[in-house]
Structure 1
Amino acid sequence: MKKILGIALVMMSTIIMSSCFKDNQPVFDSMYLVEFQDAVVTAPALNKTFPIIAVANGAGVQTRRINLVGRQRENEESIKFSVDPNETTAKEGVHYTLEGGSVKIPAKSSFGDCKINILKAPAAAGTSVVLVLVLEGNGSDIKPNENYKKLGFRINL
């Protein structure tokens, strides 16, 4: 009798304790975020919240992947990006040009390509300039992921 009572007590305790667990599986049905793939997989630079990638002077077109986090969209989306004026020391037209200022994410896709052109600037031995890009989203329901919305380029002159 003691054995049966002990088993029943253990089973009731198990049922009661397991019923209190929450289902912590996040669903992105109503939330859409965009982020730089390089910011996700590369460690941030010293004293920065974003990575800085070294590129050579005159490296040409640089393509970086943009991730759409959430359900794939039925229509093509245009995601805007800009240059962060507080972090950037590079000059547009001298060190770089933006290729459009927006990224197209095709319908039923989770990725787009951000393109910038690194120009051949006058060489200055041992110096560099920094270009920092910031994702802005699409202006309505796709927002930038605050942790991965910036990406920097160090252009070695």
Structure 2
Amino acid sequence: MKKIFGIVLALMTTLFMSSCFKDSQSVFDSTYLVEFQDAVVTSPATSLGKTYPIISVANGAGLQTRRINLVGRQRPNQESIKFSVDTKESTAVEGVHYSLEGGVVTLAANSSFGDCKFNILRAPSATGTNVLLVLVLEGNGSDIKPNENYKRLGFRINL
């Protein structure tokens, strides 16, 4: 009898405790965000006091392509996501160290990814020096916003 009572008590306790959990089914709140894939998977350069990662690239490395993620449901129409250079953080000069490929990333219809393209130009060499290029996602200007934690990506161009 005591054994049965113990089993029933354990089952009732388990049933009672599990009934208090919130519904664990996630519901997307229809917010759309964009982020750099490299910023998501690479640690920030906290040793340099930065909240974004910095990737080293060679002088004159040419066309660079970085993946952009759409966080949220895929869109039925093509979307244009703007990106720019953070002039407060960057020391690289446009036309000397880099050139942007239009400053726009195109997300194809029914896709969660796009490619951010820019060129690293051959700048005059200065042994042992480097410049910093920081790209920032801006969103589409309406309902797709940049993810604040992953909207910046830095590139150290080794001259």
TM range (shorter): over 0.9
For structure 1, list consecutive stretches of 5 or more residues without a partner in the other structure. Answer: none
Q: Which amino acid aligns with 1:12?
A: M
Task: Give per-residue Cα distances to partners, 1:57-102, cap 9 Å, x unaligned.
Answer: 1111100000111111100010111111111000111111110111
| Residues in 2 aligned to 1:86 and 1:66: alpha-carbon distance in whole angstroms | 22
CA RMSD of aligned residues (A): 1.4
Question: Within 5 Å, which residues of 2 pair with 1:3-152?
Answer: 3-28=3-28, 30-45=30-45, 46=47, 47-152=49-154
Q: Which amino acid aligns with 1:118?
A: I
| Residues in 1 aligned to 2:25 and 2:103: alpha-carbon distance in whole angstroms | 35
Structure 1 runs (4+) deviating above 4 angstroms are none
Identity of aligned residues (%): 78
Shift of 1:25: 4.4
Task: Give per-residue Cα distances to partners, 1:95-117, cap 9 Å, x unaligned.
Answer: 11110111000001110000011
| TM-score, normalisation: structure 2 | 0.92
Shift of 1:147: 1.1
| TM-score, normalisation: structure 1 | 0.94
- What SS does structure 1 have at the residue aligned with 2:13? helix
| Residues in 1 aligned to 2:29 and 2:110: alpha-carbon distance in whole angstroms | 15
For structure 2, list consecutive stretches of 5 or more residues without a partner in the other structure. Answer: none
Task: Pick which of 67-76 and 3-12 moved more.
Answer: 3-12
| Residues in 1 aligned to 2:56 and 2:139: alpha-carbon distance in whole angstroms | 25
Shift of 1:140: 1.2
Task: Give per-residue Cα distances to partners, 1:13-34, cap 9 Å, x unaligned.
Answer: 1111101112344333512111
- What SS does structure 2 have at the residue aligned with 1:151? strand
Contact (CA 8 Å) 1:29, 1:71: kept in 2 or not?
no
